[in-house]
Amino acid sequence: MVEHDSQTLDTVFQALGDATRRAMLAQLAEGESTVSALAEPHAMSLAAASKHIKVLERAGMVRREVRGRTHICSLEPAPLMSADRWIGMYRRYWTGRLDALEALLRADPAKNPLPPKKGE
Domain locations along the chain = 1-107
CB 38 within 8 A of CB 53: yes
Q: Which pTM does this prediction carry?
A: 0.71
Tell me how far apart the alpha carbons of residues 120 and 117 are, in angstroms, rounded to a whole number.
Answer: 6
**Is 3.30.360.10 the CATH number for 1-107?**
no
Sheet with 33-34, strands from edge to edge, namely: 33-34, 70-75, 62-67
* Banded pLDDT at 116 (limits 50, 70, 90): low
Helices (H), the chain: 6-16, 19-29, 35-39, 46-58, 78-107
- pLDDT tens-digit map of 64-103: 999 999 999 999 998 988 888 888 888 777 877 777 777 7
CB 12 within 8 A of CB 52: no
The neighbouring-strand residues paired with 72 are 34, 65
